[in-house]
Amino acid sequence: MISPLLLAARSERVRRLVTGLPVTRRVVDRFVAGETVESAVRATRELTGAGLAVTLDHLGEDVRDRDQAEATRDAYLKLCAELERAGLSQGAEASVKLSALGLRVEDRLALDNARRICEGAERAGMAVTVDMEDHTTVDSTLDIVRELRTDFPGVGVAVQAMLRRSEDDLRDLAGTRVRLVKGAYAEPASVAYQTKAEVDRAYVRGLRLLMREPGGYPMVASHDPRMIELALWMARDAGREPGTYEFQMLYGIRGAEQKRLAGLGERMRVYVPYGSDWYGYFMRRLAERPANLAFFLRSFVSR
C-alpha cells in the first residue's frame, strides 16, 4: 500500500500547502544543507572537519525539459569546481539522479550529461555514484552506468534491496562500487517486497553478496543499528579492512552514530542534499521513519 506521505509528495496542492508553512523551513534545515552551492560547500567543510566523508546530491528529479536537465548538469559542474577551489574535493562524491539529467526526455541526453559530470568530478578528484529511482528506470539506469564505466570504471550505483530483482542485479554488479539501500519509493507488490521484515532479509542477502566479493566496494547505506552491526561482522568475516567498504547515512539523521563509526576508524560518508527542489526528498524522509514525522509534527508546537 502506498504511504499517504508518498502520495502527498506527488500532489501539487499539498506541495503548495507544505512549502508555504513557516515551520516547514525550520524542519527542512535538518535534512537539507541549504539551497545554494555555497551552503553545500559549507556543510562539506563542517562534516569533513568532523572526520566524515560526504556525497552531495543537487536536488531534483523527473525532469521533462532538456534545458532543465542541462541546468542540473551545470549545477554539478559548478559544485565540483567550487569544492576543488575550497580544497574540499578530494575524497568527496557527487550523487546524481538520471531523471534529473533528462532520462525522461531521452536516454542519450541523460548519458551525455552524466558523462560531463563524471569528467568534472574526475578533474576535481571526486567520485560519482548514480542513484537508483523507481522500478521503471532500473534497466535504463544500469545500462547508462555500464556505458559510463567504460571511461570511468569507478562510477558507483545504488541498488534498492526492496525490489525483487535486486538480488540478481547485485550478482551482476558484485566486484564494483555499489551503494545498497533499502529503498524509499512506493512500489507495487509485483516488483517489490512490502513488509519491513521482507526488506530487511533482502538487505542482508544483498549485503552478504557484496561483502563476499573481494574486488568490490560495498557502500552500506542504512541507519538501522542491526544492519550496521551485521555489516561490521560480515566485513570482519570476509577479511575486509576499513576503507575497503564504507557506511553511508543521510544528513541530519543519527549524527552521533555517524561520529561513533568514524571514531572507530570506519569510513563514514554523509549523504548531503542541497538545492531549491527539496519537497519530494523531504516527503520521502518523513515517510521512511516515524521518528522523522514526529519531529516534523513537534515543530508545530515547539518554540
Other CB atoms within a 10 A radius of the CB of residue 188 amount to 10
Catalytic residue among 73, 104, 179, 267: 179
Question: In DSSP terms, which residues pair with 158 in a beta bridge?
Answer: 179
The CA distances from residue 75 to 127, 161, 201, in Å, are 16, 30, 38
Phi/psi of residue 36, nearest 5 degrees = -115, 165
* 237 belongs to the catalytic site: no
* 277 belongs to the catalytic site: no
Residue by residue, DSSP assigns 278-296 as: -HHHHHHHHHH-HHHHHHH
Q: What is the DSSP secondary structure assignment for residue 132, as one 8-state letter?
A: P
Residue by residue, DSSP assigns 174-215 as: TTSEEEEE---S---TTTB--SHHHHHHHHHHHHHHHHH-TT
Catalytic residue among 131, 134, 169, 200: 131
**H/E segment holding residue 159:** strand 156-160
Q: Which residue has the cell 566486484?
A: 175
* CA 265 and chain centroid, separation: 22
**Residue (of 155, 142, 86, 87) closest to 115 by Cα position:** 155
- Buried b / exposed e over 63-77, threshold 16 CB at 10 Å, is beeeebbbebbebbb
Q: What is the DSSP secondary structure assignment for residue 240, as one 8-state letter?
A: P
Catalytic residue positions?
131, 179
